[in-house]
């Protein structure tokens, strides 16, 4: 645990810091990162010993209510921030809401502008979902020598622009291993093999909340079944209430308050006069 001053100047304890994340390569250690979008998910991540979470910028306040200690990265891309200045404003807002860093898949000028203000910024390379049509669909990026070379050049450019870390999504594991030992960026692997500084999975995949599990993910729970049971239990309870209303079984004497008969008689008398 590290003591810092957050972007509002307040004392805070964090599971890790930018400096510690950057130093992972020297230690040959790995951190774990998951997604979190709510107070409950953040609290669970902290309780589980996770060091880092990532969320949409708008979810930062909720995540911070769940954990004051986790290292929180806010994704800011296109959510109302189109120009570089708007992106900068969104980044500062996320930081004042409690984020420790931001992540963007925008162009190098955007990364450079954020870094110029000493905002800890992560990039996103490999497969970027919102750009999937450019790759012809969902697929690994870097399977050919030419594509891997272009990817390596993007890593170099991102580091030169001032990013301290990069999310590496769906990069072939052996290509990722070669890049990881050559880049100064802290690497965060999402479906890119074990040779990275941070292992990243979506919380929904870990907990088994979706209808399908991506090839790169591993499911450790079955919250989908619990959600289904919860939904069925909710319908059952509501149906029972509706049936009692139809049969005039609700409310019964234990669920009502009655006025004293004398007081009721006096009240009725006032109505009749």
Chain mean position to CA 172 = 24
Centre a 10 Å sphere on the Cβ of residue 266 and count the other Cβ atoms it contains: 11
Element (H, E) at 22: helix 18-22
Specify whether 269 is catalytic.
Answer: no
Catalytic residue among 51, 159, 169, 232: 169
* Residues contacting 15, CB < 8 A, separation 6+: 1, 2, 46, 50, 51, 52, 69, 70, 71
Could you tell me which of 68, 33, 24 has the C-alpha nearest to residue 53? 33
132 secondary structure, DSSP code: G
Q: Inter-axis angle of helices 84-96 and 108-116, to 10 degrees?
A: 50
Catalytic residue set: 169
């Amino acid at each position: 645990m590290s003591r810092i001053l957050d972007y509002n100047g307040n004392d805070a304890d964090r599971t890790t810091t930018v400096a510690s994340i950057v130093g992972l390569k020297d230690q040959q250690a790995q951190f774990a990162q998951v997604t979190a979008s709510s107070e409950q998910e953040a609290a669970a991540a902290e309780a589980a010993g996770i060091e880092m979470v990532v969320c949409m910028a708008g979810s930062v306040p909720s995540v911070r209510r769940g954990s004051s200690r986790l290292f929180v990265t806010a994704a800011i891309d296109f959510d109302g921030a189109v120009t570089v200045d708007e992106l900068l404003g969104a980044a500062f807002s996320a930081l004042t809401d409690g984020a420790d860093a931001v992540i963007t898949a925008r162009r190098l000028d955007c990364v450079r502008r954020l870094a110029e203000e000493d905002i800890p910024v992560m990039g996103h390379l490999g497969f970027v979902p919102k750009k999937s049509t450019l790759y012809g669909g969902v697929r690994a990026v870097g399977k050919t020598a030419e594509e891997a070379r272009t990817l390596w050049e993007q890593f170099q450019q991102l580091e030169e622009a001032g990013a301290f870390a990069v999310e590496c999504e769906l990069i072939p594991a052996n290509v990722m291993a070669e890049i990881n030992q050559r880049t100064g960026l802290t690497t965060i692997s999402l479906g890119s093999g074990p040779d990275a500084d941070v292992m990243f999975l979506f919380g929904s995949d870990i907990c088994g909340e979706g209808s399908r599990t991506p090839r790169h993910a591993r499911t450790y729970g079955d919250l989908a079944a619990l959600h289904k049971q919860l939904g069925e239990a909710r319908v059952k309870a509501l149906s029972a209430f509706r049936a009692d209303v139809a049969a005039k079984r609700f409310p019964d004497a234990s669920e009502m308050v009655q006025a004293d008969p004398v007081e009721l008689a006096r009240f009725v008398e006032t109505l009749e006069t």
